[in-house]
Amino acid sequence: MDAIQLLRAAYLGAAASVLVVFAIPATRSRFLDYGPRNAKRGTVEKEHGAQGKTVKADGGVLSDLLDTLAKVRVPHSWFTSFYAVSSILSLLWAAELLVKGPGFRAIAQYVPDGSRSMTFQQVMVVWVMMLAQGSRRLYECMVIAKPSSSEMWVGHWALGIFFYVATSVAVWVEGSLIALKHAPTARDFAIDPPSLRTFVGVMMFILASGLQHDCHAYLASLKDKKSSSGKDKSAYRLPKHPAWNISMTPHYFAECLIYLSLAITAAPQGDGMNWTLGSGLVFVTVNLGVTAYGTRKWYEHEFGVAAVNGKARMLPLIF
């Protein structure tokens, strides 16, 4: 078994499963909506039920089974657990790598000799970047985000946990053989001039992180304004932030840039990027892309087609 290939296959398999769910209308409507989009759908269903109207047509056993599965939901606030898991595992793996712990050795033994490898310095830099990402998002969820009554399907939550567990390993797995032989010294913590690749990757990471933080803070402020007006605390307003001029979901766009920066910074010598983290980027792009598709539909329904005309769903000039 090759640990690197297994991780790549897991990322791509997860991305494919999201596309399958998205491609089938019966599963897309049940499993992919979350946050305000799901809250809106739930409100409509409750109103119809209160009026004694038929909510859905009889679709048989399969339809009933899908409906039952779709009801297994968790609070949207559980997003916080993604970043708690990410931050904790980053610290755990740092300790494992430094002392050559059993968990690290158990994975490293399945990395084939002769694989192109990251340097130990690359492992350290990318580890710091991932810890910074997880810690920042944990802070945003706990301090900046506003309480919400919306929910998400439990499968969406499970996919998120899978991603952060896998990525906590992906940031170092292609440098595991070097790390296994490396004896840490004070020299490892010296700050040397970065390579062009590291400079580009780290600068992209910093700028994308700043953009995402600004977007999340702005979205939280929209709820503040609604709450102070005495209306529904969970209501949303059409964003007027400049970032929404280039994308309907600029925070998702920033997320893609963040994982692209990790893949660039972690690229082994001779490779354009780290293809394990690149496979993770594919999952991020697909997962957020299908959500961005639903977000645009929701904006069109809430604010009209003219309000979103000419704006990309997620990736400027692409999608």
The percent of residues above 70 in pLDDT, for the chain, comes to 88
In a domain? residue 316? no
**pLDDT-derived band of residue 177, with 50, 70 and 90 as boundaries?**
very high
H/E element, 74: strand 73-75
Instruction: Give the count of domains, the chain.
Output: 1
Res 50 pLDDT > 70: no
**pLDDT-derived band of residue 42, with 50, 70 and 90 as boundaries?**
very low
Res 199 pLDDT > 90: yes
Q: Residue 185's pLDDT is what?
A: 77
Res 235 pLDDT > 70: no
Higher pLDDT, residue 149 or 61? 61
In a domain? residue 319? no
Can you tell me the mean pLDDT for 275-291?
A: 97
**pLDDT-derived band of residue 60, with 50, 70 and 90 as boundaries?**
confident
Res 57 pLDDT > 60: no
Q: Which residue blocks in the chain are alpha helix, DSSP H?
A: 3-23, 25-31, 36-50, 60-70, 79-99, 102-108, 120-139, 154-173, 176-181, 196-228, 250-265, 275-303
Res 54 pLDDT > 70: no
Res 226 pLDDT > 60: no
Residue-number span of the structural domain to which 292 is assigned: 3-50+59-183+191-307
In a domain? residue 318? no
Determine the Cα–Cα distance for residues 1 and 12; give it in Å rounded to an integer: 17
Residue indicated by tokens 């897309």: 28
User: Long-range contacts for 186-193 (Cβ within 8 Å, ≥24 apart)?
Assistant: 188/120, 188/121, 188/124, 192/121
Higher pLDDT, residue 92 or 302? 92
In a domain? residue 7? yes
User: Long-range contacts for 199-202 (Cβ within 8 Å, ≥24 apart)?
Assistant: 200/264, 201/261, 201/262, 201/264, 201/265, 201/266, 202/125, 202/129, 202/261, 202/265
In a domain? residue 314? no
Q: Residue 59's pLDDT is what?
A: 61
In a domain? residue 262? yes
In a domain? residue 37? yes
In a domain? residue 176? yes
Higher pLDDT, residue 191 or 200? 200
